[in-house]
């Protein structure tokens, strides 16, 4: 019997699937990583594969917005078309941050600039507390999305939807996949003023990992198992 296959759509070179990749591997999935953009460029002429060749598709985050066609117009339309094809074919999808926004857009929702930023450790109102615990979860975004028809909101903050499900597709606005080292690398690329303008500091973010890392990893494992054992087989 051949191994199950997972397609990881990684947008930037420094945005890997982290704990999600580890979990998929531990669950017996063979990973194919499609890196969309090269370092230092937002242009991409990469070919997207046929999603029906995979058992799971996992689009990840990005520093860009789904709606920034002037920046990522060379590839975003092709990615949305592929995600739409996957959903129509019943291929399970789990989107993270930009990936969740992309799934929402591919299914008929909209993505827009949020009225502010959520960066750091947040708790959520949740409809599935045994699956998506109230947190804290690590979050880093300045965009939000409106749900497509047929989608069910599963978690939220006052600012935006944090998790949803639509058939065999699910998405989370937060980052269950991250590790301390991964986020420390992201933070190191941002000047202190970036965080000051958004009401947080790099030190606070990293301190959150020191306080929450074990719990966050346990929450992430529960979330990933729910997707694989419930959403993906529904």
Does residue 137 carry a pLDDT above 60? Answer: yes
pLDDT of residue 189: 93
The pLDDT mean for the chain works out to 96
Q: What percent of the chain shows pLDDT beyond 70?
A: 99
pLDDT of residue 1: 56
Domain hosting residue 104, numbered range: 4-231
pLDDT of residue 221: 98
pLDDT of residue 216: 93
pLDDT digits (tens, 9 = 90+) for 165-205: 999 999 999 999 999 999 999 999 999 999 999 999 999 99
Looking at per-residue pLDDT, the higher value among 234 and 89 belongs to 89
pLDDT of residue 174: 97
pLDDT digits (tens, 9 = 90+) for 5-56: 999 999 999 999 999 999 999 999 999 999 999 999 999 999 999 999 999 9
Structural domains counted in the chain = 1
62-69 contacts at long range (C-beta below 8 A, 24 or more positions apart): 62/11, 62/12, 62/15, 62/97, 62/98, 63/12, 64/11, 64/98, 65/98, 65/101, 65/111, 65/113, 65/143, 66/98, 66/101, 66/102, 66/105, 66/111, 66/143, 66/145, 67/111, 67/112, 67/113, 67/143
Tokens matching residue 104? 């929402």
- Average pLDDT value for residue range 200-221: 94
Helix %, strand %, coil % of the chain (to 5)? 35, 25, 40
Q: Taking the model in full, what pTM does it have?
A: 0.96
Contact by Cβ (8 Å): 170, 95: yes
CATH code of residue 111: 3.40.50.880
Q: How sure is the predictor about 3, in pLDDT bands with cuts at 50, 70 and 90?
A: confident
């Amino acid at each position: 019997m051949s191994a199950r296959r997972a397609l990881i759509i990684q947008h930037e070179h420094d945005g890997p699937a982290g704990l999600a990749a580890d979990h998929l591997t531990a669950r017996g999935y063979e990973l194919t990583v499609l890196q969309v953009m090269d370092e230092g460029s937002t242009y991409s002429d990469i070919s997207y594969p046929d999603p029906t060749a995979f058992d799971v598709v996992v689009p990840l985050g990005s520093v860009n917005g789904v709606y920034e066609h002037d920046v990522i117009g060379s590839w975003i339309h092709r990615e949305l078309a592929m995600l739409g094809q996957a959903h129509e074919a019943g291929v399970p999808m789990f989107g993270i941050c930009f990936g969740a926004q992309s799934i929402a857009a591919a299914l008929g929702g909209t993505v827009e600039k949020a009225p502010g930023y959520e960066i750091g450790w947040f708790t959520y109102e949740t409809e599935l507390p045994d699956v998506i615990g109230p947190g804290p979860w690590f979050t880093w975004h300045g965009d939000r999305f409106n749900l497509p028809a047929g989608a069910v909101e599963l978690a939220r903050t006052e600012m935006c939807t944090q998790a949803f499900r639509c058939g065999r597709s699910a998405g989370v606005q937060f980052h269950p996949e991250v590790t301390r080292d991964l986020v420390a690398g992201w933070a190191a690329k941002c000047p202190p003023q970036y965080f000051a303008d958004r009401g947080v500091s790099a030190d606070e973010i990293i301190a959150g990992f020191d306080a929450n890392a074990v719990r966050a990893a346990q929450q992430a494992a529960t979330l990933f198992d729910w997707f694989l054992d419930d959403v993906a087989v529904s």
